[in-house]
Amino acid sequence: MAKCAICGKGVHFGNAVSHSHRRSNKIYKANVKRVRVKTDEGNKKIYVCTSCLKSNKVERA
């Protein structure tokens, strides 16, 4: 799974708890998109989470 190039957000692990309180492993994946970004070398594609996109931490191409 990809990580955000800005904040480093990625996969988190936890427990899925059923109604009878039985626990099983659960994977929480970050909402990461592939975005074209302006850089000094030109346009480049990086992975960015949607919270960083919404807060305008990245300048899109």
pTM score: 0.76
Distance of CA 34 to the CA centre of its chain: 10
Q: Average pLDDT for residues 28-51, to the nearest whole number?
A: 93
Question: In which band, very low, low, confident or very high, does the pLDDT at 61 lie, cut at 50, 70 and 90?
Answer: confident
Say which DSSP state 50 is in.
H
